Amino acid sequence: MSPIAINDRRITDRRITDRLIVCIASDWGVDPTSKHHVMRELSRHNDVVWVNYHGSRRPVLTTTDARGAWSALRRVFAGAGFVGDRMVQTTPLVIPGATNPVQIGWNRRIIARAVARARRHFNRHHRGVQLWTFAPDVDYLPGAFGEECVVYYCVDEFSQFAGYDTERTLAAEGRLMAAADIVLTSSADLYTTRAKRHGHVHLVRHGVDYAHFRSAVDRALPVPDPIASIRGPVVGFVGLVEHWIDVRLIAQVARHLCDVAFVIVGACHADVTALRSLDNVHLVGRQPYASLPAYLSRFDVGIIPFQLTTMTRNVNPIKLREYLAAGLPVVSTNLPEVRRMTPHVTIASTPDAFAQAIRRCIGNNRVAARLARSLAVTDQDWSRVTAQVSQLVRDRIDHRRTHTTAPAPF
């Protein structure tokens, strides 16, 4: 099946409505990702139970995992609660990395019970239940909710994540895809590999919270306190500093550009010792989502310094469109999905080339240029992405019903 471009004007308004959507995803409380944006949009016309799922990898004895485990336990005991007008989150006490039938059976029962309890928060009739999963290894869940469809939304090559059992993850994903009615992918590489294993795979690239980040274009927002004292040009990165970020590259480029400030906005889970030793690198930590446009308004260039691995070749960084919506020129390592956005993006493969590209971009940052970059993604808002996704899911359900029983109206 051919990919559908996000700017396809033939997309019609065929929203999913009046359903209960069970969403298996990562923590609700982390920085917004594609799953957060899509589910927020779907919750405008449906009730959503967001399941904070912690079963994909076994924790190890690190400070980060210990904090994560403690945070998850606090959410378990807090119970289900609203995180939007029509969205409830719940955290079931699953067994991480479950492999044997007893453990898997426990996880299925505990998630089903958690969803049933969360569902009581909605005092309305639902015309059907849908299971949407962003996790690849919940192959034991289809059928647990009497759902009318199973949607697997594949946004990463999870088998390559640190701490994941590669073989187990791939095997579970294969079984999940066999049970799924439709598979949605966020990058061309993810689409290509999944289309070989399923007859209903679609490419739906990420969107952007356009109005939110567009406010940074004219550079009139107040400068956030953590960077208020910085003078001169600023190169910025927004996002988790994880094992896929090339910290060494950032450090080398920062040494090349001593007169340029490098601001890293996000939690650091990787070793950033090489950055802390540099006077022109500022690690400001995780900042509220609402404040991000103010940071981008002060930036002259946005960078995407990912390492080049099997995992990152499959990614479609959300920050790419957020940078562009804010009007920023982007310098990135050679990621396939980023490369598609040239000429607004410059690809650089070495520290020297990265530094030279940044220097050129700093000189091309007038308001007119920023506005042109922002307009390049104006039609890629998350509302439009979700409309496309809704149409694909509805078409799939309608097609299946016409080939089985009389179709039920939406």
- DSSP per residue, 205-236: ---B-HHHHHTTTT--SPPPGGGTT--S-EEE
Q: pLDDT confidence of 57, banded at 50, 70, 90?
A: low
Q: Is residue 298 classed exposed, middle or buried when 0-12, 13-18 and 19+ CB atoms within 10 A define those classes?
A: buried
Q: pLDDT confidence of 88, banded at 50, 70, 90?
A: very high
Q: Give the tokens for residue 351.
A: 């520290």
Asked whether residue 6 carries a pLDDT value surpassing 60, the answer given is no
**Which residues fall within 8 angstroms of residue 122, CB to CB, at 6 or more apart?**
20, 47, 86, 88
Find the helix or strand (DSSP H, E) in which 296 lies: helix 292-298
Find the helix or strand (DSSP H, E) in which 368 lies: helix 367-375
Question: Residues 11, 387: contact at Cβ < 8 Å?
Answer: yes
Q: Give the tokens for residue 240.
A: 């988790």
Q: Per-residue pLDDT tens for 305-353? A: 999 999 999 999 999 999 999 999 999 999 999 999 999 999 998 999 9
Q: Please list, residue by residue across 306-341, b when 16 or more beta carbons sit within 10 angstroms of its beta carbon and e when fewer do.
A: beeeebbbbbbbbbbbbbbbbbbbbbbbebebbeeb
CA distance 89 to 75: 9
**Which residues fall within 8 angstroms of residue 260, CB to CB, at 6 or more apart?**
232, 233, 234, 235, 254, 280, 358, 362
CA distance 94 to 117: 16
CA distance 331 to 302: 7
**Which residues fall within 8 angstroms of residue 385, CB to CB, at 6 or more apart?**
6, 37, 38, 41, 204, 205, 206, 207
Question: Residues 22, 149: contact at Cβ < 8 Å?
Answer: no
Q: pLDDT confidence of 210, banded at 50, 70, 90?
A: very high
Whose tokens are 């050679």? That residue is: 334
Radius of gyration, alpha carbons of the chain: 22
CATH fold, domain 20-207+381-402, is Rossmann fold (3.40.50)
Per-residue model confidence (pLDDT) at position 108: 94
Task: For residue 214, count other CB atoms closer than 10 A to its CB.
Answer: 20
Q: Give the tokens for residue 243.
A: 């094992």
47-52/281-285 β-pairing: unpaired
Which range has the top average pLDDT, 23-27, 62-66, 260-264, 395-399? 260-264
> Where in the sequence of the chain do the CATH 3.40.50.2000 domains occur?
20-207+381-402, 210-375
Question: Residues 393, 182: contact at Cβ < 8 Å?
Answer: yes
Q: Give the tokens for residue 219.
A: 């550079």
Residues forming beta bridges with residue 347, ordered by sequence position: 332
Say what percent of the chain tops pLDDT 70: 90
Question: Would you tell me which CATH number, out of the four given (3.40.50.2000, 2.30.42.10, 3.40.50.620, 3.40.50.12780), belongs to the domain 210-375?
Answer: 3.40.50.2000
Q: Give the tokens for residue 227.
A: 């960077």
Instruction: Indicate the Cα dihedral angle 129, 131, 132, 137, nearest 10°.
Output: 170
CA distance 136 to 172: 7
The residue-averaged pLDDT of 68-75 equals 57
The residue-averaged pLDDT of 74-91 equals 82
Whose tokens are 């439009």? That residue is: 384
Per-residue model confidence (pLDDT) at position 364: 79
Per-residue model confidence (pLDDT) at position 254: 98
81-84/87-90 β-pairing: antiparallel
The mean pLDDT value of the chain amounts to 90
Interaxial angle between packed helices 318-325 and 367-375, expressed in degrees from 0 to 180 and rounded to the nearest 10: 130
Asked whether residue 54 carries a pLDDT value surpassing 60, the answer given is yes
Per-residue model confidence (pLDDT) at position 409: 38
